[in-house]
Amino acid sequence: MNKSTAAMTSPQQGRTFYRTMVLRRQVILLGLLGALFLSFCVDLALGPARYELTEVLSALLTPGSVSEQISVIVWQIRMPVALMAIVVGASLSIAGAQMQTILSNPLASPFTLGISAGAGFGAALALAFGVSIVPFAVDYIVPINAFLVAMLTALMIHLLSMRRGVTIETIVLLGIAMVFIFNALMALIQFFASQQALSAVVFWTMGSLTKATWPKVWVSLAVLAIAIPLLARHGWALTAMRLGDAKAESMGVRPRRLRLQVLMLVSLLASVSVAFVGTIGFIGLVGPHIARMLVGEDQRFFLPASALCGALILSVGSVISKMLIPGTVIPIGIITSLVGIPFFLFLVLNQKKSIW
Amino acid sequence: MKDIPTFGGFKDGTFDVEQAASLKPDVVFMNIEAQTATEDAGYEDKLAALGIPIVYVDFREDPIKDTPASIRLMGRLLDKENEAERFINFSNQQMARVTDVIEQADPERPRVFIDRAGGYSDDCCMSFGPHNFGDYVRIAGGQNIADDIIPNTFGTLNPEQIIASNPQQVVVTGGDWEAYVPGGAWVGVGPGADMTEARRKLEALTHRTAMTGIDAVKHDRVHAIWHQFYNSPYYFVAIQQLAKWFHPDLFKDLDPDATLRELHERFLPLTYQPGYWVSLEAEDE
C-alpha cells in the first residue's frame, strides 16, 4: 500500500517515511498498552463491595495491613478475573490473528474453525453427564474435556487438509462443517440434560470470567508465554504468507509446515482459553481486525497489537459486565459482543482504505 | 412406574403432540412455563380438535401464589376435590405456624444467602431473586441478600457481593446429583440421605473463596436443604425449617420433621424417609 509512494521518492525520503511509520506504530502500541493498564486498574478498583481506592491500593501493596475480607476480595476474586480477562483476550485474539494469516481468510477465527465449538461440546459432556474423557483429575473434567475435544478437532482438520487437492478454502469449509456438527451434538446434550445441568451448560456457553482462579491464570499465562515467542520467531515468514503460498515459497517459507505448526499452536491457545472461561465468541475475530486497521500486516506490530486489542476489549468488557447490575455478573460474552460489535462496525465503516 | 410413558419437554420443543394424542388422555397437564411455546405451536387447537384440553399448573414460577390453585384444579379434574381441599388446608395451617409468629414477633431479619445448588459446578454462586426460595426466606423471617440484585427468580451473584453483604445465614440447596456430576461438591440431602456425608460436604463448601470471613460461617449458621422444595407443593416444610434456623428461639416447638412425616402419612402412598436437611450448627446442640 505504501510501497508505491515510497518508490517514487528518493532513498532519503523513503527512509524518513519508514522511520515515521515505525514510530507511529510504536506509539499506537504504547497507547494500547496504556489503555490496557488503565482498564486493568479500573477492573481491580471496582466491585460490589465498595472499597475506597486507597483501601484497594493498600491491599495490593501491603496485603498484611488490611482486613482478611478486603485482601481476599482483591487478591482472590478481583485479581484472577482481571488477569484472566487480559490473558484470555490476548490468547483468543492472537489465535484469530494467526488463523486469518495462515488461511488467508478474514473470517477465520477459533470459532469459525470449530475449535471453540469442540471445546464447548467437551465441556457440555462433562457438565451434563459427568462424562470424563480421561479417568483422572475429576476436579478439572470440564476444562480437560474441553481442551481434548478442541485439540482433536484441530488435528482432524489438519489430517483432512493433508489429503490431495485440499486448499485453504477447503480447510475453512471443513471448520464450518465442524461447527455445525458440534452445535448439533450440543443441542442433543441439552435435550437429554437435567434442568440443573442445562442452566450450567447455557451459562458456560455464554462465557464467564468468574470461573477464574489463580491456577487457571497461571496455566493460560504459561501457554501464552510459550506461544508468543514461537509465533514471533516465524514473524517474517507469516508476514510473507499473506502474499500467497507461491510467493511465500519463493522466499524460502514452507507454507504447509508453517501452517501446521501455527494451527497447532493457536488451537492450544484457543482451547485453553475456552476451556477455562467458556465460549467468548467474538474477540478472536474482531481483535485482529482492529489491530490490522491500526498497524497493518507486519507481524512485528500486528502480533503485539492483536494481543493488546483482544486483551483491552475483554478487560473493558469485564468492567462493564460487573458494573451493569452491581452484585451480579452478566456473562461477558454478551457484553463483549454488544459493546465490541458497534465499535467494530464504526471502525469498518469509517475505514478509508481497504482493510483486507 | 416404569410402564408410564415419558415425554419430552415443551421448553426445548421436544414434546411430541402425536404421542400425546395417541395415548388418548382425558386431559394434558402442562407447566405454566410451557404455555407460550404450546400456544405458539398451535397444540392447544390440535389437541382441542381431539377433545383433549390442556391444563396449565404451576409449582415453580410462583409456588406460594399458584400452588393452591393448581392443587385445587387437579383435585377437581381427578375427582379428588376433598383430598385437594384437605391438602390445601394442611398447607395453610402449617404456613400459619410460621407467618403468625413472624407477624406477631416482628423479629430482626437475618441476612440470608441462598446458595442455589451450591457445589454443583465450580462457578460461584447461583442464587434466587425475590421469588421462589426468595419468597420462602422472606416468609420465614429472613432477608435474602439477592432480593435487590437478581431481577427475576433465578440468577448468579458476584462472589464478591457475598463477602460484601456478609450474610448471617447461608442456605445451600442440594440433592443427589450423582448421575449428573459424579463425586461433585453438591450436598446430597433428600429422602434417606447419608447425613454424615452431607454434613461433610456442606462443611467443605464453606471453604470457598466467596464464603471468606462471613458471619454465617464464623457462627456455623450454614445449612443445606433439599433443592426440590423449589418446585414442590411441600414448600411449607422448607419454610418451617428455614424459620427454625433463622429464629431458633421463636420456633423452639416447631418440628418440620414431624410436619413432613404427617404429610406422608396423610397424603402420600410413600413411607417417610428423613434426610431433607442438614446444618452445621447441629454439632453444638
Q: State ipTM.
A: 0.72
Residue B39 in domain? no
The domain containing residue B240 runs over which residues?
107-284
Residue B26 lies in a domain: no
Contact with chain B for residue A328, Cβ under 8 A: yes
Q: What is the pLDDT of residue A1?
A: 46
Backbone angles phi, psi at A66, to 5 degrees: -110, 170
To the nearest whole Å, the CA of B280 is away from the closest chain A CA by 22
Point out which residues pair with B173 in neighbouring strands: B225
Q: What is the pLDDT of residues A152-166, one digit of tens each?
A: 888 888 788 778 777
Q: Inspect the interface and report whether the beta carbons of A72 and B123 lie closer than 8 Å.
A: no
The span from the CA of A328 to the CA of A349, in Å, is: 35
A85-120 pLDDT, tens per residue?
999 999 999 999 998 898 888 888 888 788 888 888
Is residue B242 a part of any domain in this protein?
Answer: yes
What is the number of domains present in chain B?
1
How much is the pTM?
0.81
Measured between alpha carbons, how far is A83 from A311 in angstroms, rounded to an integer? 9
The per-residue b/e assignment along B203-240, b for 16 or more CB within 10 angstroms, e otherwise, is bebbebbbbbebebbeeebbbbbbbbbbebbbbbbbbb
Q: Is residue B73 part of a domain?
A: no
Q: Is A48 on the interface with B (CB under 8 A)?
A: yes
Query: Does B19 map to a domain?
Result: no
Residue that the C-alpha cell 390445601 belongs to: B88
Angle, helices A283-295/A299-323, rounded to nearest 10 degrees: 130
| B84-101 pLDDT, tens digit each | 999 999 999 999 999 999
Whether residue B268 is contained in a domain is answered as: yes
- Measure B152 CA to nearest chain A CA, in Å: 12
Contacts of B218 in chain A (CB under 8 A): none
Q: Is residue B212 part of a domain?
A: yes
Domain at B177, CATH number: 3.40.50.1980
Tell me if A178 sits within 8 A of A157, measured CB to CB.
Answer: yes
For A107, half-sphere exposure in the C-beta direction (CA atoms, 13 angstrom radius) is 10
- Per-residue model confidence as pLDDT tens digits over A242-289: 888 788 888 888 888 888 888 888 888 888 888 888 888 678 888 999
CB A340 within 8 A of CB A131: no
Q: Confidence band (pLDDT; 50, 70, 90) for B285?
A: very low
Q: How many residues does chain B have?
A: 285
Q: Are B235 and B241 in contact (CB under 8 A)?
A: no
The verdict on residue B78 lying in a domain is no
Rg of chain A on CA atoms, in Å = 21
Question: B-contacting residues of A 191-210, CB under 8 Å?
Answer: 191, 193-194, 196-197, 199-200, 203-204, 208, 210
pLDDT band at residue A136 using 50, 70 and 90 as cut-offs: low
Q: Of A16-30, A178-192, A331-345, B242-256, where does mean pLDDT reach its minimum?
A: A331-345
Does residue B15 surpass a pLDDT of 80?
no
